[in-house]
Structures are given as C-alpha cells and as structure tokens.
A and B are shown apart, each in its own frame.
Chain A
Amino acid sequence: MSAAPATEVKPAPPAIEKIKVKVDGREVEVPKLTPDWQGKLAPTTMLQACDIAKKDVPHYCYHPKLPVSGNCRMCLVEFGTPALGPDRKPVMNPDGTPKIAKSPRPAIGCATPISPGMEIYTSTPGVKQMREGVLESLLINHPLDCPICDQAGECKLQEYSVDYGQSASRFVEAKVHKPKAVDLGPRIMLDAERCILCTRCIRFTKDVAGDDALGIVNRGSYNTISTFPGLPFDNNYTLNTVDICPVGALTSKDFRFQMRVWFLKETKSVCTSCATGCNVLISSREEKVYRYTPRDNDAVNASWMCDAGRLNYKWIQREDRLKAVLVRGQKSTWTNALSEIAGKLKQAQVGSVAIIASARQSNEELWLLAKLKATFGAISDSIERTGDADKLLVSADKNPNTNGARLTGICFSEMGINLPKIADGIAKGKIKALIVFGEEVTKHGISAELLGKLDTLIVSDILPNATTAKAHYVLPGCAHAEKRGSFTNMKGRVQKFMQAVQPPGEARAEWDFLHDLVYNVTSKNGFLTIEGLFNEMAKDVPAFNGLTWAGLGDAGVTVKI
C-alpha cells in the first residue's frame, strides 16, 4: 500500500422504471429492477416487493447476498395478475378496476418476478396453511434440541415455529438420526440433524468465497451437508456460513457453548484487523467480549467478514493488559503523570521531540497527537504493517487507520520513512523526548539501547512489551472495543465504532487523556466528548471538512483521500 488508493467515482445509475403492485390490498410502487446478490440489476421479485411494502414473508434459503435457489418453499405466496380478454386487453370489473385473475397455484416469492398490476397475497388462510405445512415438514426429523443448541435465540426455525408451528408432532415414526458434532473444519462444527438443507452455506462458499467445498450427500431423509471426504472445510470465510445458517446446523467452534445469545449485548463497531474496516457487531456480556459478527454495509463488506478478523478479539481480555499508570516504574495517578509530562514537554526545545503513533489508533487520537506535533515542531511517523490480501475483503494493509494517520498529518504517504531519522536523532542526542503510542518500536529500528538514551520516553499501549518496559511514563490505553472513535479505511470511508466493554483497571481511552495532555500543553480548552472532538477535528482536517459525528451514521461516509 505505497500509493493511496483513489476513491471510486461511480457514474449516476440510470433511472429505473417503477411499477405498481398491490401487496395485501395496499398499492406500492417498486422498481422494476433491483440489484441481485452480485449487484447486477435483475427483475424485482415478489419477496422484494413485499419487503418494500413492509410485509414480512418468512424464508430460509433466500439471502439477499446469495444466488436464489428456491428450495425451502417457506416464502410461498398467492398472487394474481390483471386478466386479459381474447383481444389481449385487460378485462375490467363493473366498477372500472382491472379484473385480477388469481393464480391457481402459489409461487415462491424469492424467485418470481413482479409484473405491472400484480396483486400479492401474503396473509390469506391458504398462505398460512402452506407455511404451516412447510414447517411441519421441516420439523419431521429435526431433533428439537434447542436447550443445547447454540443457535437458540437467533434461530429462524424457532421463530417461525412460534408463528406457524404446532404444539405437537403428528408423526409417530422414529426421527431419522444423523451425525452430530461433525468436525467439518478447523473452525466449524456440523450438526447434521438440525440442518434444514437450505443450501445457504453451499452457495456462500461456492459463489461468494470461491471455494466449492460443501455439498449435499445421501438421499431423501438422509440428505447431509458434507465436505469432500478427507478435505476439511477451511478457507478464510468459513465462519460466515455459521451466520447465514438459519438453524443451528453449522456452529462456530470458537463460540460453541460459550454463552446463550440472548444475553449478549451487541455494539456497533469496526474490525481492526486490516484496512478494509469491515463493520461488525461486538457481542459482549458483563464486560467480556464473546464474538464478532459482521454487520451489513454494502459500501464496505456487504454481509461478510473474514475468519481471521472475526477471531482476533481474545487479546482484549488478556490477563497481562496494562492496567496501571506508571511513572519510572512506580504506580502513579493520571493527574500526576499527565501534569509531569506536560511540564517536561513545555520545557522541550523545538525539534527535540519525536512522536511515533500507531495507525491502529482512531482519527481523533491521531489528530490530537498531530496537535502535539505542531506545538513542538516534532518529527512524527507511524509503522507500516503488511500481509497477504485476497480478492474478497482482506487488505494487504494490516493497519485499520492508515489513511487516518495520513490525513491527520502523522505520517506521509510512505509510512515509516521518518523512523531512521528518529533513530538517528536519538543516537546523536538531538531528540530528547519520544512519545510512542501503541507500537513496539524496538522491533522497528529503535533499539532498547537507543530508548535508554532518551531523557523522556512516554509510552501508551495496551499490552506490555519491550518499549513499555523502557518507558519513563506508561499510560495504559484502551482497545477499540473499550472506547469510541472513528477509523478511515483504505477507500477513505470514515466509520465510527462504539464502546462495548469497560477498560480494565485504570486504563483510559487514548483520546480522553490525550485531550487533557494537549490542552495542558497548549493551555486552550477543547471538547470533552468524542462527538465534540470529532466535529472539531472535522473542521481542522481538510479531508474531513463537513463531516459530523452524527452525520457519519452507522454506515460511515467516504471522503476523498
């Protein structure tokens, strides 16, 4: 990621013709064409029209981001089209309205395109009966082991059973027992009994992830999802199949038997494992993070996220997190440490301060550090992290906020260019004070010996390392799940993240104490809230001009980078 990627400029899409249909007697205008799972325009289906009319049509196999397969039959609805006479002219009722010829057979909503004047009926006794029939059929061999099923609470089969199920089964035969707790791959466990064979997982892994790994084997009641014998289901997107599985057939080994989902608080956040910035929901309970799940955002990650990013949360709860403010190895308080630091920095000569910030920090924090930089005429940089990219979501840039660091002026388009200069400055004794945020600089050319030469080494980090061991001032910081803020992703999308859990011990959000420090040093007052701070930053940083915290919304805003 040496050159900044340009924002995509899309031509305005051509206007799509609208047609009128009636859903349960209410007329709605729907576009004739709707983007399908790949974003290509395709004829609007009855299910999409019902969605626009805010009429819920139950479904299992249909997923807006997957090709339509139409096998679950749950979305069956009745419909009618305007009747045509022998002269191919619409037949009119005596009152002047077009006569509707009701289709003698129902049709699946997910795969039947709409036509002008069509009437869709979603709540007739016939439709209700069909749903009850489908559900009864799905439950013939379902084990009903909800008490031990991880999906319980977010299970479509449970939800629709409440709506359309019967209290007792009419079947007296023994249920077909299929394999349980089948090890499908390193992160996935399959319970074949619970599977309703909607094939969402098969379509996802074949068409979206591009790894044709799953299929159905055996016949009739013995239908089972399976991988090719001996080949584990192992790509970087396997855990998405757990999300889209409408029942508890595919479960995550990581989340297996960890917590019941109804206890989990979901917080809107952003994944920090690479520069893509997939939107996530952090599920937590009692200050413990249990899982990440992707949050829909068509501008960034659609409905997916990679397994590596999803499982990269355990460090938040590590026992050895930095929890105390340390001044030269002794426990201290925030007030003492910050006023001492401010005193030292105020005496510093121009050019004797260097700042190494992390591109894992939020825009606001980097901007506050840039303010410090401007005050002392400091030299600053950040540290590049690169890795493998793929075609779907994973970016080669492993920093979540590289563009934020660039736009706020912490580093140049080529990251890490100033590091040798800083090392040189320390070696020559020109740089006396070094401020390090969230980076282990001894691994990036500034050795522990060099750090020993400094008069003042201020380090803020989350986990202990060789740099924090050398620091004169250790300021414990927060993981992104423990604070609020915003990141700018590789396409320049500014997205905010919310606080899910409380930070451990005395740890404080970096923007919170940086705010105190900056205004101690510059003796100007500023905003004490993240909203105010973001808005102030948006006025100050040209690229962010016009943005407001509230205006970012849940999906973020793309800026020019």
Chain B
Amino acid sequence: MIIKRKPLNLAERLYLPAIIGGFKVTLRHLLKKKVTMQYPEEKWVVPEGYRGAPYLVKDQEGNTKCVSCQLCEFVCPPKAIKITPPGPAGQLADRANAEKMPKEFEINMLRCIFCGFCQEVCPEEAIFLQKDYSLTGTSRAEMIYNKEKLLALGGVHAGVQKWKHKADEAKEQESFPVKA
C-alpha cells in the first residue's frame, strides 16, 4: 500500500512552533517534583506486604519455629530451599514437644524467585518474605544462606504459640492415666 504524504503547511515548514512546544514540555518537567531516586545513596521505603527475601523467624521466646516439615522445600518452584532433617539422633528441638527442628536449612538466594509459596505453605508460620530486596555477594556460595544466617536476618514473629499451648494443656492433664 502506498501512503500519500500530505504536504507540510506553513507552521510545520517553519519548524519553530514545534521546537517551542518541545521546550514547553521540558520546562514543565524542570519545575515539577523529581521522580528519580538517587539510589543507592537514597533508599526506597518498602511498602507493607512486599515480597522480598524469605527468612526464618523465631517466636517471642526466641525458639526456632521451623519444625523441618519440608513443605516449603516441596513447594518451592525453583528448588531454592534445601532442608536437612535432624534424623533420629539429632539436636533436641527448642520447644520440647515440637520434637524436631532442622539440622540445616539453606536457601539459595540466586535461585529464589520471591514467589512467597514457602510462606504460604508453612504450617508453623516460620518463614516470611521480608523487606530485603537487594541481596549481593561475591560468590555463589555466599548467596546460599544457611540456617544461622536466615534466623539472624529473620528476627522475631510473635504468633499463636500452638506448641506452648499444647504443652500447657498436657501439663494440666499430667495425672494421665492415673497418678503414680
């Protein structure tokens, strides 16, 4: 198809009106509030509900909440999570009646896609996507966060403490089955 070009009218042939129009836009933006952020000198305020890096949290009494049920490892789409369960002779759990906690918990932050499935699937509210968005390291190994690091970064999440509740409930019934 051949498109017919219209001949330019006088204003267009003069060029000047178009140039002035352009300068007007520039001037308007020059006087407006700046939208560019001077990152990294200037930091962004992360909104609530932001899906940053997933970290492990402790409860209000400083106990590791994770019981190594490995559901997050199962659900993780890029297979970024690797959990080593304690095994029969492993370290005792922080909360005695929770029976187990992970021997090792690794998240490969290079693999993580920050989808939040781990947080969604966790039955213990032990892993949360937090506000860290800029993860850097000088090697691949450095980007695999271990349990210690994840717990240190995760902080505290005060929750319902169901294991404590269970332990208290059982203690009340201590006379089971009959008093010795």
Which chain A residues have a beta carbon within 8 Å of chain B's beta carbons? 143, 146-148, 152, 174-181, 217-218, 222, 224, 253-260, 262-263
Q: How far is the CB of A227 from chain B (nearest CB, A)?
A: 15
Q: Closest A-chain residue to B124, C-beta based?
A: A147
Closest to B171 in A: A177
Contact A147 to B88, CB < 8 A, known contacts A174-B169, A175-B169: no
Is A181 within 8 A of B88, CB to CB?
A: no
Which of A179, A218, A257, A260 sits near B87, CB closer than 8 Å?
A257
Report how far A255 CA is from B166 CA in the complex, Å: 25
**How far apart are the CA atoms of A253 and B88 in the complex, in Å?**
6
Q: Is B46 an interface residue (CB 8 A)?
A: no
Q: Are B176 and A147 in contact (CB under 8 A)?
A: no
- Minimum distance in angstroms from A406 CB to a CB of chain B: 41
Taken together as a complex, chains A and B put the C-alpha atoms of A174 and B70 apart, in Å, by: 29
Within 8 A of A (CB), among B60-75: 67-71, 73-74
Interface size class of B (residues with CB under 8 A): 20 to 34
A143 touches B100 (CB 8 A): no
Using Cβ atoms and an 8 Å threshold, which residues of chain B touch A253? Answer: 88
Q: Given A176-B173, A177-B176, A180-B97, are A147 and B69 neighbors across the interface (CB < 8 Å)?
A: yes
A263 and B170 form a contact (CB under 8 A) = no
Interface presence of B156 (CB below 8 A): no
Interface of B is mostly: loop
**Complex Cα–Cα for A255 and B73 (A):** 19
Can you list 10 pairs linking A and B with CB atoms under 8 Å apart? A148-B100, A174-B173, A176-B176, A177-B169, A177-B173, A181-B99, A222-B177, A257-B88, A260-B74, A260-B85
Residue in B69, B90, B169, B170 whose CB lies within 8 Å of A148: B69
Are A224 and B69 in contact (CB-based, < 8 A)? no
A189 closest partner in B (C-beta)? B88
Let me know if B74 and A146 touch, CB within 8 A: no
A222 pairs with B124, CB closer than 8 A: no
Closest to B66 in A: A147
| Given A181-B99, A263-B74: A258 and B85 interface contact (C-beta under 8 Å) | yes
The contact of B70 among A143, A176, A260, by CB within 8 Å, is: A260
Knowing A148-B99, A260-B70, A263-B74, say if A224 contacts B85 (CB, 8 Å).
no
Bound-state Cα–Cα, A333 to B159, Å: 59
Q: Mark B51-89, 1 if CB is under 8 A from A, else 0.
A: 000000000000000011111011000000000011110
| CB–CB A222/B99 < 8 A | no
| Segment 108-166 of B: residues with Cβ below 8 Å from A | 123-124, 166
User: Are the C-beta atoms of B176 and A148 separated by less than 8 Å?
Assistant: no
CB distance from B93 to the nearest CB of A (A): 8
How far in angstroms is the closest Cβ of chain B from A177? 4
If A147-B67, A178-B176 are given as contacts, then 4 extra A-B residue pairs at C-beta distance below 8 Å, sorted by A number, are A152-B69, A174-B172, A217-B177, A257-B87
Q: How far is the CA of A262 from the CA of B121 in the complex (A)?
A: 15
In the complex, chain A residues whose CB is within 8 Å of the CB of B176: 176-179, 222
B residues near A178, Cβ cutoff 8 Å:
176
Residues of B within 8 A of A218 (CB): 177
Asked if B87 and A258 sit within 8 Å, CB to CB, the answer is yes
Q: How far is the CA of A174 from the CA of B87 in the complex (A)?
A: 31
Asked whether, in the complex, the Cβ of B123 is within 8 Å of the Cβ of A147, the reply is yes
The distance from the CB of A381 to the nearest CB of chain B, in whole angstroms, is 41
B96 to chain A: closest CB distance in Å? 10
Pairs A-B, 9 closest by C-beta atoms: A177-B170, A147-B69, A256-B88, A218-B177, A260-B70, A147-B123, A222-B177, A148-B99, A257-B100
Chain B residues in 8 Å Cβ range of A257: 68, 85-88, 90, 99-100
Bound complex: CA A224 to CA B90 (Å): 27
User: A558 → chain B, closest Cβ, in Å?
Assistant: 39
Name the A residues within 8 Å of B85 (CB-CB): 257-260
A148 to B74, CA, bound (A): 15
Which residues of chain B are within 8 angstroms of A174 by Cβ–Cβ distance?
169, 172-173
